[in-house]
Structure 1
Amino acid sequence: MSPVNILNADLHCHSRVSDGTLAPEELAARAQANGVELWALTDHDELGGQQRAREAALALGLPYLTGTEISVTFAGETVHIVGLGFDADNAALVEGLRRTRGGRESRAREMAEGLARVGIAGAYEGALKYVGNPDLISRTHFARYLVEVGACRDTQEVFRKYLTEGKPGYVAHRWAALGEAVRWIHDAGGIAVIAHPGRYKFTANEEYALFSEFKEHGGRGVEVVTGSHSSHDFVKYADTAREFGLLASRGSDFHSPDESHTDLGTLPLLASGLSPVWEALAERIHRPS
């Protein structure tokens, strides 16, 4: 493995256990082929792919960290918190994620009703065709169906026209509280990380409040380098990590070879002077025997 500050770690991606299109084993092989030196599968609100991902990674000689991405509500917006290096069998974490997944079906049916009102019928059943785990039906699955039926050219267009706030297929959902998610991760022995902060539409004051409360609850990390961040964001959130004394993480947020702009293992390295999250999790890394 490389020295810790230049490690090609990819600690954020999704399999079809949540809203990706590849199996955990396929992701492990893709990560290894792309030169990833430390990997984590971080399916949304779900741990069902963890054992498969770990076993596949270790069989390929690829060190592995447990991971998940928890949806939380903060200041009326959905924010994602990545958990890394936790005990995947921790009962409180497992139960918390189960409760967080609850309500997705009713939300999905409401989304389908909204789409039907603008002439797109059968969206719930169509989205289910793309779902590996029905408990985790999401906007991404609807987006894939709308592309299939020709309503839009690609999933990005679907989100712009139908699935964001104020559009026909948008239905808000209340997720876990920020403090709950951080506590579940911390109590299971892991580290909580704010995912892709550059994506959230917060004012400067709201963003400061997010980082302040996150740290007060015991959160310890932030994704500095991630697939949806610009080069400006890399610099901005490196500064934020230093300002709040947070560990820096790195992850592609890869979902699909056909949809994701950033492939596993292809991100820029973390800037010097940051403290990588994996350094603090060294004893939690599963390594090949």
Structure 2
Amino acid sequence: MIDLHLHSTASDGTYTPEELVMLAAKLKLRAIAITDHDNVDGIEPAIKEGNRLGVEVIPAIELSSDLDGQDIHILGYCIDYEHIWFKKHLKDLREARYERALKMVERLQKIGLDILLKDVLKYTRDGTAVGRVHLAKAMLEKGYIDNIQEAFNKYIGKKGPCYIKKSIYTPEEVIKIIKKVKGIPVLAHPGVSKVDEFIPNFVKAGLQGLEAYHSRHNSAQTRKYKKMANKFGLIVTGGSDCHGLSRELLIGSINVPDSIVDDLKKLKA
């Protein structure tokens, strides 16, 4: 088995990159991919730990895009994560995330929640892409909510009073960015995004895969996107979308065939 959709403490996960690799080794996974949001800092330490424990780590990332108000996530596999232009670009994206978090903190304060930016940043590390889950953790610590999901439902979800829209790209622009750093762009959890009618447009823009195996896909959806991938000549990928202990989804929780790693390597070559 493999798991090609994992988040570490470099973005909004609770496990360090090394801990994810150690967990993968315990589960006897052949390969994993660290797919942090707007950040590649977790890749190098994961690769080093993977070399030590015999777990292959595929360099990857997850980037957000917007399509008429719909949040579309694109995964990039086998990327040149040391590309200077790419690192500068990701730094700009993380700074935008920081500004967004600041504005959301201000909105939380206006409705009476005593949350400071320092309360949020204590859950991040230097260079971390600040996300809404970090705000949720601060709210949880102060007793304003009973669990992480409640923060999204009541305050910082898209329909919440403290939500701030991200300043992001179109799916086509994100695909172009991933291709520029020699990566393989894959549409993340299409069953969640629900943009099937736009997939042909994404393919024309350079999309090369669909994430058919996902923790929020049922078996019918997995079959559907495998069939769609075959129709458009795309590869199929999959992963748990593990964020660690902040959510219930854990590494290796779905059955993803390891042949996908070989498909990625062939496409990369």
Structure-1 separation of matches of 2:235 and 2:268: 16
Q: Match for residue 192 of structure 2?
A: 199
Query: Alignment partner of 2:64: what SS?
Result: strand
Partner of 1:71: 64
Structure-2 residue corresponding to 1:168: 161
Gaps of 5+ in 1: 1-7
Instruction: Give the fraction of aligned pairs with identical amino acids, expressed as a percent.
Output: 30
SS of 1:99's partner is: helix
Other-structure match for 1:281: 265
Identify which of 54, 62, 67 aligns with 1:61. 54
SS at match of 2:201: helix
Q: Aligned with 1:120: secondary structure? A: coil
Query: Does the CA-based 8 Å contact 1:105-1:135 persist in structure 2?
Result: no
- Deviation per residue, 1:218-276 (Å, 9 max, x gap): 110111111222333323322332333221101111111x23333212212359xxx83
SS of the residue corresponding to residue 89 of structure 1 reads coil
Q: 1:134 and 1:171, CA in 2 relative to 1: closer, same or farther beyond 3 A?
A: farther
1:261 aligns with 2:245: no
Q: Is the 8 A contact 1:128 1:134 kept in 2?
A: no
Q: Does 2:170 correspond to 1:208?
A: no
1:100 match: secondary structure: helix
TM-superposed deviation, 1:93: 2.5
How far apart are residue 16 of structure 1 and its match?
Answer: 0.6
Map of 1:249 onto structure 2: 237
Q: What's the offset of the Cα at 1:284? A: 6.1
2:155/2:163 contact within 8 Å kept: yes
Take 1:157 and 1:19, find their aligned partners in 2: how far apart are those partners? 17
The equivalent of 1:222 in structure 2 is 210
Counterpart of 2:123 (choices 103, 119, 130) is 130
* Aligned-partner Cα distance in 1 for 2:7–2:155: 23
Structure 1 residue 40, shift from structure 2 partner: 1.0
CA distance in 1, matches of 2:17, 2:256: 24
CA contact (8 A) 1:18 1:44 kept: yes
Asked if the contact 2:3–2:256 (Cα under 8 Å) also holds between the matched residues in 1, the reply is no
Secondary structure at 1:64 match in 2: strand
Matching residue's letter, 2:213:
V
| 1:264 aligned partner, one-letter code | I
Task: For 1:83-98, list aligned pairs within 5 A.
Answer: 83-98=76-91
Q: How does 1:29-44 map to 2 (within 5 A)?
A: 29-44=22-37
The TM-score, its normalising length taken from structure 1, stands at 0.85
Q: Give the residue type in structure 2 aligned to 1:262.
A: L
Q: Is the 8 A contact 1:104 1:135 kept in 2?
A: no
In the alignment of these two chains, the number of paired residues is 269
Cα pair distance change 1:45/1:231, threshold 3 Å: same
Counterparts of 1:135 and 1:17 in 2: how far apart (Å)?
5
Structure 1 ranges of 4+ moved more than 4 A? 282-285
CA–CA distance in 2 between the matches of 1:233 and 1:270?
16
TM-score normalised by the chain length of structure 2: 0.91
Alignment RMSD: 2.2
Amino acid at match of 2:191: G
